[in-house]
Structure 1
Amino acid sequence: MPTSEGIWLRREVAPNEQRTPLVPADAAKLIAEGIPVTVEESPHRAFPADAYAAVGCTVVPGDTWPDAPPTDVVLGLKEPSTAAVELTHRHVLFGHAYKGQVGGPPLLRRFGAGGGTLLDLEYLTDGAGRRVVAFGHWAGYVGAGLAALRHGGLLEAPLRSWTLEGFDALLKESRAGARALVIGARGRSGRGAVAALGVAGATVTAWDIEETGNLDRDALLGHDILVNTVFATEPGTPFLGPDDLADPGRRLSVVSDVTCDVTSECNRLPVYDRVTEWSEPVRRLHDAPPLDLIAIDNLPSLLPRESSTAFSEGLLPHLATVHRGDGIWGRCEEHYHHARRATKDK
């Protein structure tokens, strides 16, 4: 028999957000385990509402999550809309609220006002502190791919979402012998970046902790492309600074910041102050020699079906246990309470 404790998949309101943390095939598996799934209608989601209805989900209008049963867990990717300012449920999403980001305190206040709980997907970790699910591979893949397209003169604005086949076809067309540096190359995003640059025919240098601990700045500036995929949890030595932009010997011409920690104290690329958009994906940081920036904070949405399918597959076994609130979810909740206490102390 179905439990009354369900999953409520809400629509996303962030611009150009076509991803979903739960695809129809995996929703069907939750339903088979007795967990009801409610799905909000969304004109932008990569998977239509009919596909969810076909596997047994209940489909409801968008932004009705404030009326969800109190035992339901509300599932999304980015911050929910202001359909309700006070957040009363347990919400699973990427909050971007614990590392000093600009939007963090207001989001935490919404939870504090409503008595709800943020279960931040970024802090869903195993016993060793490793994230168990992330969009990292496809973020790195797309971020590096866009840099290769820019270097090859094939990046057109405004951006649109691609299929993987279409994106790879462009990458192969962009082959121009670029020298590319990936920082954080051993992580999910870094491995994705290396893979995309390989499709684009670039010569790739892979750096990780050892190389960034004793940064060879001349070597960094000697590449055509820099892709930053480092998931930093504390401040550290910047990879680029204002003096590097003005260096007349700099070969570097394209920077893709996959991490996009621009408003965080952990930012390792303090040479810009706002992300770029699908409408204008590239910003000129310096004119002579030229240096362009790509810093899009929802890169995987440019390959929405592939990235959603991979993420949903990784999240599925944990969604099946979310109502217990122990183990991996208990650790996730403790991160929230720690952040709330820190916010109150300021």
Structure 2
Amino acid sequence: MKIGIIREGKNPPDKRVPFTPDQLKVIQQDYTGKLKFFVQSSPLRAFTDQEFLDVGIDVVEDISDCDVLFGVKEVPINQLIEGKTYLFFSHTIKKQPSNRKLLRTILEKRIRLIDYEALKDEEGRRVVAFGRWAGIVGAYNAFWTYGKKTALFDLRRANECKNLHELHRELDKVQLPPIKIILTGTGRVGNGAMEILHSLKIREVSAHDFLHLYFDEPVYVKLSSSDYNRRKSDGGFDKQEFYTFPERYESHFLKYAEAGEMLISGAFWNPDAPRLFALNDIAGEDFQLSVIADVSCDVGGAIPTTISSTTITDPVYDVDRKSGEKIHAFGSQTSISVMAIDNLPCELPREASREFGVQLMKWVIPALMEENSGILEGATIARDGDLTIEFMYLTEFVNQHE
């Protein structure tokens, strides 16, 4: 089986790779005579062409002869090769309008699309993700943003740090007043963000104490869905029902927005679930949030102030509290500063890629050697010009006119 590692074509460029050079060397040795890797030449990767060549991996320009193609972000439509098997984050399973044409083209070109986001174990848990690194960098950027907004301290950008160790050392500069910080998300993203909070030695408090007590030090609360969602009919909460029928619930997040100054949002959001707050809520006198780091970066999603995503080169914009409109970052002391970078792990691309590659080596490479692998079948969105049964719900989305 010939496997190609494609050159990332999305703009702005992504420096991550599915596998590091050393990982490809190990896989190719472990599967001698069964797997052969080819890396498409790229001047932008965190790992250079020469690093792949140094461990005996072929670097080529044309990967059209490969059977399976691994990428990271969405593949530009004009670069899709007909009839191939692709693995990448397609960002289509939530019916994202910006990628409707991508999925339509995949069907037209009879491509088999395996989406990393849909790779799950027997218990239904995702097995490959960059979530931890999104959480780490997203939380770091929340404090970078707070430092810029308040002029209390000045951090280097995460992408200017050589590695995670250097990023943690940079946090020694942080000097915080007794602010209250909200963290949502109990998965990889939330746990990654907690690594930064713990590095800063910020104390975790209960939801009750967060809302009702005064502290003379910075504190944070980690909220789960049950803390800020209530059933419309009787105010109760049932986890399974919430995930199955989120439309039956309404948000009770506003009380936290009135107590906290910073929000680090890392929770998964279902489009049928309630938003945390309404955009017009930010004009209220009691709405205290002034820095929002939307790590999940669902534009038009759970956080209404996420009007658009941001980039590594231009990471923050402000939202005017009265008009709800996007304005220049840090242009007003009273506005809300929003960090919504949609490729956060790119700021620490080498380490993020290494951890991602470990996951692929454990779950995907062995599955490729199986016939009709369950894990790959379950993550196959499209094959032979059709959506698979599990993803038939995307039919109307694909056929919808722009």
Same fold (TM over 0.5): yes
1:142, distance to aligned residue in structure 2 (A): 0.6
1:221, distance to aligned residue in structure 2 (A): 3.0
Matched, 1:204 2:220: yes
Distance 1:228 1:88, change over 3 A: same
Structure 1 portions without partners, runs of 5+: none
Distance 1:276 1:250, change over 3 A: same
TM-score by length of 1: 0.89
Matched, 1:303 2:300: no
Distance 1:196 1:296, change over 3 A: same
1:16, distance to aligned residue in structure 2 (A): 4.1
User: Mapping of 1:6-155 within 5 angstroms?
Assistant: 6-14=2-10, 15-32=12-29, 33-34=31-32, 35-61=35-61, 64-65=62-63, 67-69=64-66, 72-85=67-80, 87-153=82-148, 154=153
Task: Please point out which of 284, 291, 295 is paired with 2:336.
Answer: 291
Q: Distance in 1 between matches of 2:180 and 2:197?
A: 10
Q: Distance in 2 between matches of 1:293 and 1:285?
A: 7
Report which stretch shifted further, 239-248 or 139-148: 239-248
Equivalent AA in structure 2 for residue 315 of structure 1:
L
Look up the match of 1:165.
165
Q: Distance in 1 between matches of 2:313 and 2:52?
A: 30
User: Contact 1:98 / 1:104 at 8 angstroms: preserved in 2?
Assistant: no
Look up the match of 2:268.
231
Distance 1:345 1:276, change over 3 A: closer
Task: Please point out which of 376, 379, 382 is paired with 1:332.
Answer: 379
Which whole-Å deviations, capped at 9, do the CAs of 1:253-273 have from their partners, x for residues lacking one?
10011111215xxx2112333
Report which stretch shifted further, 37-46 or 328-337: 328-337
Distance 1:272 1:113, change over 3 A: same
Look up the match of 2:247.
none
**SS of residue matched to 1:106:** helix
Q: Distance in 1 between matches of 2:192 and 2:124?
A: 21
Structure 2 portions without partners, runs of 5+: 203-218, 231-251, 321-331
Q: Distance in 1 between matches of 2:135 and 2:198?
A: 12
Distance 1:344 1:43, change over 3 A: closer
Report which stretch shifted further, 196-205 or 128-137: 196-205
| Count of aligned pairs | 333
- Percent identity of paired positions between Structure 1 and Structure 2: 27
TM-score by length of 2: 0.77
**SS of residue matched to 2:337:** strand
Q: Distance in 2 between matches of 1:173 and 1:327?
A: 48
Report which stretch shifted further, 215-224 or 115-124: 215-224
1:114, distance to aligned residue in structure 2 (A): 1.1
1:345, distance to aligned residue in structure 2 (A): 5.2
Q: Larger Cα Rg: Structure 1 or Structure 2?
A: 2
Which whole-Å deviations, capped at 9, do the CAs of 1:148-202 have from their partners, x for residues lacking one?
1211235679874532133222222123144211111x21000111111222344
Which whole-Å deviations, capped at 9, do the CAs of 1:88-120 have from their partners, x for residues lacking one?
211000000121212221111121121111100
Distance 1:89 1:180, change over 3 A: same
Report which stretch shifted further, 7-16 or 87-96: 7-16
Report which stretch shifted further, 19-28 or 133-142: 19-28
Q: Distance in 1 between matches of 2:89 and 2:253?
A: 34
Equivalent AA in structure 1 for residue 318 of structure 2:
R
Equivalent AA in structure 1 for residue 180 of structure 2:
R
1:334, distance to aligned residue in structure 2 (A): 5.1
